[in-house]
Amino acid sequence: MPNPRLTGLGSGLFCAAVMFVLASLLRLLFDSSLVAYGVLFVPVAALTALWVRPADLVSAPVAVPIAFAAGIVPIAGGSGGFGGQFMGLVTALALHAGWLYGGTLVAGLIVTVRKLRLMSERRRTPRPAPRRPDGKRVPAA
C-alpha cells in the first residue's frame, strides 16, 4: 500500500478530486446514487487522514467535509438554473449529512490516534544535548 505524505492543501485537493471523480462515475453508472456516494466517502476520508503528513494533521478533518460538498455537485440533482442547482446541492447535503458526519468522524479519529502516537514517540526519543558555539556539548546540570 502506498504511503504518500500529502500537505494540508494536497490532502484537501486529493479528497475533493477523488470524490468528484467518484460522483461523476456514479452519475454515469448508477444514475446519481447518493447512498453509494456516502459509502465511498468514508474510505476516502480515512485515506486522506492516513496520508496527510504529520505536520498537517489538523487539516484532514477540515478538508474532508469540504471535499464531500465539492464532490457531491455532479449528483446533487436540481433543475433549472443556478438557483435550482443550488437547492439540489443544499438538499443533498441535508439529507445525507450522516455520511458527512461519519466520514469526518473517521478522519478525526485517525488523526487523533496518529497525533497521540507521534507524541508518545517524541517522549520516548532522547533529545541530543545542546551544543556551544564552539561545537562542544554543554554539560548536564
Burial of 27 (0-12, 13-18, 19+ CB in 10 A): middle
Beta bridge partners of 137: 131
Determine the Cα angle at 6 with ends 107 and 13, to 5°.
75
CB 85 within 8 A of CB 96: no
The alpha-helical segments, DSSP class H, found in 31-96 are 34-51, 60-71, 82-95
Q: At residue 45, does pLDDT exceed 90? A: yes
CB 59 within 8 A of CB 12: yes
- Rounded mean pLDDT of 41-64? 93
Q: At residue 57, does pLDDT exceed 70? A: yes
User: Tell me: the pLDDT tens digits for 79-117?
Assistant: 778 888 889 889 888 988 999 999 999 999 999 999 999
* C-alpha span between 91 and 38 (Å, rounded): 14
Mean pLDDT of the chain: 88
* C-alpha span between 42 and 136 (Å, rounded): 53
